[in-house]
Amino acid sequence: MGTPAQVGVPVCFLPGVVRVICFAFTRRTFQIAGVTQPLALIFYEDLMPGTQLVNRLQDLHYRVQPLTGEEDLAATARQAGPMLVFADLVSKRTNVCAAIAALRAGPETAHVPVIAFADEAETALQESARAAGATLVVADAAILTHLEQFIERALHVE
């Protein structure tokens, strides 16, 4: 964790006090970090944007739970309680738009923002995702570049 000066704790020159302050500060920080680290569910099949998105979210201090098609998105969201859901709309195994609609239909998960992404050429798929209730639908080429702005926009409460 570092020395008291590195973590912003005032340094006290009384013997034993610095150690107690450091212990209390690091313990409290650890507990807060464990509780407040938000969860993001990510549904993807294509490794290229999917794994890059996982890594980028972890860099932004999100806990990430990848879903690859076998899991039911709505059931996993009910159980895990994510802050955000990311969904790659292109899937050979799952109707992702139906999964988004099922997520929106449940009272426990209707509030969870969904950021869906697909290739720019997939306009019909993008429109289906909007109709299913996706909060944002973006081009997969832009998801990593503008990730923080997309997250901020999806979490914005009006």
- Fill in the DSSP letter of residue 14: S
Best CA proximity match to 150, nearest among 48, 137, 158 = 137
Distance CA 158, CA 156 (A): 6
pLDDT confidence band for 153 (50 / 70 / 90): very high
- Give the three-class secondary structure for 109: coil
Mean pLDDT over 81-99 rounds to 94
Q: Domains of the chain by range and CATH?
A: 37-155 (3.40.50.2300)
pLDDT digit string, tens, across residues 2-59: 444 444 434 444 444 443 333 333 333 334 444 578 999 999 988 888 899 999 999 9
Structure-model confidence comparison of residues 48 and 90, the more confident one? 90
* pTM higher than 0.85: no
User: How many residues are listed for the chain in this entry?
Assistant: 158
Mean pLDDT over 72-88 rounds to 94
pLDDT confidence band for 72 (50 / 70 / 90): confident
Distance CA 26, CA 73 (A): 36
**Predicted confidence (pLDDT) at residue 80 exceeds the cutoff of 90:** yes
Mean pLDDT over 87-95 rounds to 92
